[in-house]
Amino acid sequence: MSEQLKSEFTQRIVELQKRVDSIHQDFANGRNADWSEQARERENDEVLNALESEAKVEIQQLSNAITLIESGHYGICQTCGEAIAKQRLAVQPAAIKCINCAD
């Protein structure tokens, strides 16, 4: 089970990194000379920055989850030491706290 999770998390990290790379490529393409088009591009930049930030956070969380899997601590609350419910991990695979401690 843990090897399967590591594989799933690694695959998701690769997908997210491709998204980040695509965003960087979009920024590298430069800007249009038309002022109205530049205004639209700036709005697009804000969305891309938000997507990049979210992707980087998820990459970090998944990397941390892989480290926990490797150390045998995945699925254990880092606050109280109890098992994190499987339902919680299904929704939030990178959860580091049980639902009680997360509140």
Question: Per-residue pLDDT tens for 25-54?
Answer: 877 776 666 666 666 767 778 888 899 999
Residue 30 and residue 47 in one domain? yes
Residue 63 and residue 19 in one domain? yes
* 71 pLDDT more than 90: yes
Residue 83 and residue 98 in one domain? yes
Residue 83 and residue 66 in one domain? no
* 13 pLDDT more than 90: yes
Give the span between the Cα atoms of 40 and 31, in whole angstroms: 10
pLDDT of residue 28: 72
Count structural domains, the chain: 2
Q: What's the pTM value of the predicted model, to 2 decimals?
A: 0.77
The answer for 10, left when phi > 0, alpha when psi is -120 to 50, beta otherwise, is alpha
Higher per-residue confidence, 66 vs 45:
66
* Domain extent for 36: 2-72
Residue 19 and residue 67 in one domain? yes
Residue 64 and residue 36 in one domain? yes
Residue 9 and residue 24 in one domain? yes
Q: Name every residue whose Cβ is closer than 8 Å to that of residue 80 and which is 6 or more positions away in sequence.
A: 98, 100, 101
